[in-house]
Structure 1
Amino acid sequence: MSSTSASVTSADTRTEALAALRELVGRDDADFHDGQYEAIEALVDGRRRALVVQRTGWGKSAVYFVATLLLRRRGAGPTVLVSPLLSLMRDQIAAAERAGVHAAAINSTNPHEWADVQQRLADDAVDVLLVSPERLNNPAFREQQQPALRGRIGMLVVDEAHCISDWGHDFRPDYRRLRELIADIPAAVPVLATTATANSRVVADVAEQLGHGDDVVTIRGPLARTSLRLGVLRLPDAPTRLAWLLSHLDDLPGSGIIYALTVSAANDTARLLRERGHEVRAYTGQTDPDEREESEALLKRNEVKALVATSALGMGFDKPDLGFVLHLGAPSSPVAYYQQVGRAGRATDSADVLLLPGPEDPAIWHYFATASMPDEDRARRVIAELSDVPLSTPALEARVDIRRTPLELLLKVLDVDGAVRRVQGGWVATGEPWSYDAERYARIAAAREAEQQHMIDYETTDGCRMEYLQRTLDDDTARPCGRCDNCAGAWYDLGLADGAAEAAAGALDRVGVPIEPRRAWPTGADRLGVPVKGRIPSGEQAAEGRALSRLTDLGWGGTLRELFATGTPDAPIPPQLLAACVRVLAEWGWAERPVAVVSVPSRSRPQLVDSLARGLAEVGRLPYLGALAPVDGGPTGAPGGNSAFRLAGVWSRFSADGLDVPAGGVLLIDDQADSRWTLSVAARTLRQAGATEVLPFVLAVRG
């Protein structure tokens, strides 16, 4: 839509908006839902700031697409739509084009299109530009494109606006940067924020960040979803939950989403269902982007029964006829749960929503909650290492003992706080004073703990489940739904099909996870006194190893989490665990059988590691040579640091003196593998002592 139509005006905004809506949805009888036109009018005629909180499927995207059409006809510049997920961008571009709105996106997956998009913007041929919140702080975008956009922007839309708020269930630091952008654009430019999930605290927080104080138009509707039939099925353990799913997946209507709390749980569940003949796919943050897009398309075309997904499939995924949403494990808050179940039943009279909570849920909630919280000591270390000379993230990682993912999150928080800044070539310190807002983070932590309790209360309530969800979102229109399992009785079958329990138990009893050997030394190790760089010589490398299980796995992972839990005393390995480890070795398929067993010296679990090594040696009829000797007190450090620091903590801390290392394969035993540097350095020590191959074996790998 070009600026040549700038002179076009409408005496009747509602008539014009209604015509645009009907063009958008492709129906001549379409009309506005309560609140839709009021929001459009506030944006187009009033040029105001508006916050729309409405349930999924209400039509929030129709508001900003129709408003964009009308504003463009009045000569306004393009709408900038800040959108959090790539799946949302794909769906929204398709929806916009159907209505004649020319949309384009700038994100991490399409850099080959950026030049064309910039030219289209210069030619005024783009009506809606979709960008991710992370893109707003990309140096090239911030310096080359953002200034021009600020001068021409016709409307700013912040989709999934609960992310702005510290109190939002999906808080993203880059969203907080929007406050700066909102403050910089002219006051006459309308701003729209939309979300389906916000309680009163989030609403107030987002409205404040939109600016203009009490002048923000807030349009909030009832959150009840009359199409959803809610239920909670509490089963004793993971095998029983999977057995129920195997028995009843085909009973669920249409196609849908099965949510899991961890990547490994999603992958394990999808594999089991496929092996039993169900058409499903795993969908996680670790799934290849092209495969994710393909899986979304298959689900939309009902060519799979379900996607087994983590929260990576969430905001913005648009399949109006989704027949069911099932959770294996509960999200950490009713707000997050409402967001995910809201994917179902948007264009159907009925959709089934079932939660199968697990006893491990609170431990998983705690892990993710603490992983996202900034730590004062870490923050000060990062700031101290930065100057006015840019430092890349890998180079900074080598100077501070923080892994890449939490380091990147911390840098984003410090950037928004004004202490550091991302520039071409890396990160610099701004020199601005910075203080750790302990009170704020304590309030956020307390709020998250309260939300976790609310989720447990949702599971155990004997009242209406939809009413409970509405009330936790401060929806004062909440009334009993008459459809959920508490209102109308259990609608789901409690029985298990023949063979389902055995199949689920067999799947969860699988053993053996490969441990890829380290092939190269970490960047920056030489700065920490470790005189190595580049590739690890082949004669010093470990071979591919094995673990019994991941700590996050549904099967043996639960047993191992209990074994390694804080406060669990050191003790010899339980017989059932040793038997499972023997199965791993029996299935290993090594080229040459090892000729001896050696263990890693353990300070925290010496009985466990020694008994595991001795047990495997006895079963395999191999000599147990003993443990490597600790040097200077042995390894230092704790799980969670980055590669360079983890290597420095174990470098030169092992000795094979006193061990008669044979010229053959050695089975190397430890309790856990995290960074794999302990195993790598111990293997190097054994290789230098004469072992021709070192095969690491541990009980658990993290992640």
Structure 2
Amino acid sequence: MSLVSTTPETDGRHVRDQAQAHLRALVGRDDAELRDDQWTAIEALVVERRRALVVQRTGWGKSAVYFVATLLLRAQGAGPTVIVSPLLALMRNQIAAAERAGVRAVTINSTNAEEWEPVHAAIAAGEVDVLLVSPERLNNPGFRDEVLPRLAATCGLLVVDEAHCISDWGHDFRPDYRRIRTLLGDLPDGIPVLATTATANARVTEDVATQVGRDALVLRGSLDRESLRLAVVRLTTAEQRLAWLADHLDEQPGSGIVYCLTVAATQEIADYLRSRGHDVASYSGATETTERQELERRLAAGEIKALVATSALGMGFDATLGFVVNVGAPQSPVAYYQQVGRAGRGTDRADVVLLPQLEDRDIWAYFASLAFPREERVRETIGALVDAGKPLSTATLETYVDLGRSRLETMLKVLDVDGAVRRVRGGWEATGREWTYDADRYARVAETRDREQRAMLDYLTTDECRMRYLREQLDDPGAEDCGRCDTCGGFTPATTVSDSAREEAGARLARPGVVVEPRKMWPTALANLGVDLKGKIAEGAAEGRAVARLTDLGHGQALRELFRDGAPDGPVPDALARAVVEVLHDWRPHVDGIVAVESATRPALVDSLAGGLSRFLKKPVVGRWAIVDPGVEPGRGASNSAQRVAAVGRRFTLDADVPAGPVLLVDDRVVTGWTLTLAARALRAAGATEVLPLVLASGG
């Protein structure tokens, strides 16, 4: 691509005047001034055609830099800007902001497949100024092989948003982002690159700058957020934390976000707060796309007090939020800094309160269990692809490798970038290239995560300035006391809760009963494992019940202790037995007999549960879903559905005098649902008209 030479039109002073005009159009204010550091970034991109990494706090104006640079480059005849962004909510807000400044912006992501062809046509016709791409598109075979090379050759500017995701050391590393390394290497000389993030410490900054390459200009600014007032409120019980929200949510300025660590918590807390008269809604990756967009709009417009959300919620630069409350601590101070950065943009004051939980470390441990698999699992995967001699889908690979779908996908993406496998139409194939398991790197990443978690725990108890602590975790050399947080004395949040709110929260948390949804479809490619099952499950379980999820705020704590590694086996504790009775009163199942799932690890617990149900319901225990192959260890194959179905089928058989009526199927907990599904299938085949599962706990 030919580049425009420096002329009076591209002289730095003249370009800055143009940039100033574009900024005012973008923000809709005639008094808006381009800051010197913003101009430094724009000048590097537009005048010098350099590569740059900008590490600046949320609200600094990183989006303004790349939109203004786009307008300037397009006026010089450059191709469209390509922005790689991981946050769909952010994409939508960026497009709306761009359109206000006359920037023609479109997006290609997982939620708008029906628009991909028109978007490609508009790009080809020169009708697009900005294309926003989600990172998973970079590894889609058609996009990677057909669309990406054309974009790399013709784009006028490449922007990598949330660039810390490139780095193994970033708090939110994403394998799809590693594909950007290839894209950066394929760009012709003279096409500028801008990488941006608000959350990169020195190590991540150095790593990303190296990957951006070509002597990238690094601009790091102060990470202080002058509008944020930080505090930690330590409450000992889940009902106290819920009560605090009920009592004090309306005292928070404007609209904001209540962040939670799990999807279940967002639903539980939002439901409770609505019952107390608060205008809130839950939001997570499980929320349907159209509903997510409407909730984002309502929050940005101040039409709702709060979204109770997981980290799936990210907002654009024009959202003005007055507060963030975290129920539970994220895994690192850097991740926490990013979440609280959603508040205080466009406002002089925003309140940020952290309500830590005892169970935070359990949840961190669960996420840590999803780390990169052991070498033997990786070798199994590569070997399965080699042996197949043809592409295999992820679902088919699950029948050969004992890993869950999401973890298997993540591993394959890493192997793809490493060159060991390749994503093609129809699935994945081995490349035949030699591959080395970098155990040292994975160990270093794990050690880094452990240090981050310890640092997050230290944040909870520090008597230092909280903003200074977060800035130092990000290696901000200008970190100093803020004068605004609870340890500096500038913010004293309420710590009391009312008796009425606490009592109602306690009653809500003590109310047991979670629906156990039945499995609807058999896993794909079970024939590879010698299992003749496929398609829709014709005779499976009906809707069942659990006392609670292991992640729940109420009975979840007692259940986590009951199922803790090393906890002794024994009868059902009295409090949980009473909860089971409450579930039965609400559910009112009508059954003619009870069948228990035999347990090798907690036989006394399951026998106690089945016997107690028999006495309460006055129905007999008619048999067991019995262990016949103890060589198949408990939990075998739990990481993916196909492996689990095969393992359960080998381990168990039905040993029961089944009545010709409805049967209650009893187990200690449900994790994958396949034990209950196969037991229900056997019971139905033996004459049961309906199978109703009842378990103590839901979740692994």
**TM-score (normalised: structure 2):** 0.96
| Structure 2: runs of 5+ lacking an equivalent | none
CA contact (8 A) 1:33 1:58 kept: no
After superposition, the Cα gap between the structure-2 partners of 1:8 and 1:150, relative to the gap in structure 1 and judged at 3 Å, is farther
Q: CA deviation at 1:665?
A: 2.0
Q: CA deviation at 1:690?
A: 3.2
**Equivalent residue for 1:487?**
488
After superposition, the Cα gap between the structure-2 partners of 1:669 and 1:190, relative to the gap in structure 1 and judged at 3 Å, is same
**Equivalent residue for 1:85?**
87
Query: Which of residues 682, 688, 694 is equivalent to 2:691?
Result: 694
After superposition, the Cα gap between the structure-2 partners of 1:490 and 1:349, relative to the gap in structure 1 and judged at 3 Å, is closer
**Equivalent residue for 1:280?**
280
CA contact (8 A) 1:54 1:196 kept: yes
CA contact (8 A) 2:56 2:197 kept: yes
CA distance in 1, matches of 2:531, 2:517: 22
CA contact (8 A) 2:571 2:608 kept: yes
CA distance in 1, matches of 2:133, 2:592: 58
Deviations 1:3-33 (Å, cap 9, x if unpaired)?
A: 9999992432222221222222222221122
After superposition, the Cα gap between the structure-2 partners of 1:536 and 1:347, relative to the gap in structure 1 and judged at 3 Å, is closer
CA contact (8 A) 2:600 2:634 kept: no
Deviations 1:419-457 (Å, cap 9, x if unpaired)?
A: 111111111111111111110011111111111111111
Name the stretch that deviates more: 522-531 or 122-131.
522-531
Show the 5 A alignment for 1:534-553: 534-538=535-539, 541-553=540-552
CA contact (8 A) 2:596 2:625 kept: yes
1:409 aligns with 2:407: no
- AA aligned to 1:696 is P
Show the 5 A alignment for 1:565-604: 565-590=564-589, 593-604=590-601
| Structure 1: runs of 5+ lacking an equivalent | none
**Equivalent residue for 1:289?**
289
CA distance in 2, matches of 1:27, 1:655: 72
CA contact (8 A) 2:63 2:317 kept: no
**Equivalent residue for 2:321?**
322
Q: CA deviation at 1:141?
A: 1.0
CA distance in 2, matches of 1:517, 1:346: 44
**Equivalent residue for 1:425?**
426
Q: CA deviation at 1:461?
A: 0.5
CA distance in 1, matches of 2:535, 2:143: 34
Q: CA deviation at 1:35?
A: 0.8
Query: Which of residues 150, 156, 169 is equivalent to 2:171?
Result: 169
CA distance in 2, matches of 1:129, 1:520: 38
- AA aligned to 2:646 is A
Give the match's secondary structure for 2:107.
strand
**Equivalent residue for 1:366?**
365
Show the 5 A alignment for 1:665-684: 665-684=662-681
**Equivalent residue for 1:508?**
509
**Equivalent residue for 2:236?**
236
Give the match's secondary structure for 2:487.
helix
Give the match's secondary structure for 1:557.
helix
Q: For the aligned residues, what is the CA RMSD?
A: 1.9
- AA aligned to 1:687 is R
Give the match's secondary structure for 1:487.
coil
**Equivalent residue for 1:76?**
78
**Equivalent residue for 1:610?**
607
CA distance in 1, matches of 2:206, 2:579: 54
Deviations 1:263-283 (Å, cap 9, x if unpaired)?
A: 000110001111111110100
**Equivalent residue for 2:472?**
471
Q: CA deviation at 1:634?
A: 7.7
CA distance in 2, matches of 1:408, 1:98: 38
**Equivalent residue for 2:201?**
199
Name the stretch that deviates more: 227-236 or 503-512.
503-512
1:630 aligns with 2:627: yes
**Equivalent residue for 1:112?**
114
CA contact (8 A) 1:283 1:310 kept: yes
Query: Which of residues 641, 644, 662 is equivalent to 2:642?
Result: 644
After superposition, the Cα gap between the structure-2 partners of 1:664 and 1:202, relative to the gap in structure 1 and judged at 3 Å, is same
CA distance in 2, matches of 1:26, 1:122: 30
- AA aligned to 1:457 is D
Name the stretch that deviates more: 686-695 or 447-456.
686-695
Give the match's secondary structure for 1:104.
strand
CA contact (8 A) 2:258 2:327 kept: yes
Q: CA deviation at 1:321?
A: 2.2
After superposition, the Cα gap between the structure-2 partners of 1:216 and 1:655, relative to the gap in structure 1 and judged at 3 Å, is closer
- AA aligned to 1:389 is K
Deviations 1:546-570 (Å, cap 9, x if unpaired)?
A: 1111111111111111111111111
CA contact (8 A) 2:399 2:526 kept: yes
CA distance in 1, matches of 2:4, 2:168: 43
Give the match's secondary structure for 2:479.
coil
Q: CA deviation at 1:121?
A: 1.3
Deviations 1:349-380 (Å, cap 9, x if unpaired)?
A: 11100000011111111211221433322211
Q: CA deviation at 1:537?
A: 3.6
CA contact (8 A) 1:52 1:220 kept: yes
CA contact (8 A) 1:78 1:152 kept: yes
1:259 aligns with 2:259: yes
CA distance in 2, matches of 1:632, 1:195: 53
Give the match's secondary structure for 2:103.
coil
CA contact (8 A) 1:422 1:428 kept: yes
After superposition, the Cα gap between the structure-2 partners of 1:507 and 1:425, relative to the gap in structure 1 and judged at 3 Å, is same
After superposition, the Cα gap between the structure-2 partners of 1:546 and 1:5, relative to the gap in structure 1 and judged at 3 Å, is farther
Q: CA deviation at 1:118?
A: 1.4
CA distance in 1, matches of 2:630, 2:396: 29
Q: CA deviation at 1:669?
A: 1.0
**TM-score (normalised: structure 1):** 0.95
CA distance in 1, matches of 2:454, 2:626: 48
CA contact (8 A) 2:166 2:178 kept: yes
CA contact (8 A) 1:9 1:73 kept: no
Q: CA deviation at 1:641?
A: 2.4
CA contact (8 A) 1:47 1:190 kept: yes
Show the 5 A alignment for 1:557-568: 557-568=556-567
**Equivalent residue for 1:530?**
531
- AA aligned to 2:362 is A
1:181 aligns with 2:180: no
After superposition, the Cα gap between the structure-2 partners of 1:8 and 1:138, relative to the gap in structure 1 and judged at 3 Å, is farther
**Equivalent residue for 1:619?**
616
CA contact (8 A) 2:483 2:490 kept: no
CA distance in 1, matches of 2:86, 2:538: 43
Q: CA deviation at 1:109?
A: 1.6
CA distance in 2, matches of 1:324, 1:383: 47
CA contact (8 A) 2:484 2:491 kept: no
**Equivalent residue for 1:351?**
350
Name the stretch that deviates more: 452-461 or 375-384.
375-384
CA distance in 2, matches of 1:364, 1:652: 32
**Equivalent residue for 1:685?**
682
CA distance in 2, matches of 1:410, 1:632: 31
CA distance in 1, matches of 2:367, 2:316: 23
Name the stretch that deviates more: 132-141 or 8-17.
8-17
Kindly report structure 1 stretches of 4+ aligned residues shifted beyond 6 Å: 3-8
CA contact (8 A) 1:320 1:348 kept: no
Give the match's secondary structure for 2:137.
helix
Give the match's secondary structure for 1:193.
strand
CA distance in 2, matches of 1:374, 1:343: 33
Q: CA deviation at 1:653?
A: 4.1
**Percent of pairs with identical residues:** 60
CA contact (8 A) 2:628 2:653 kept: yes
CA distance in 1, matches of 2:490, 2:129: 50
CA distance in 2, matches of 1:631, 1:463: 60
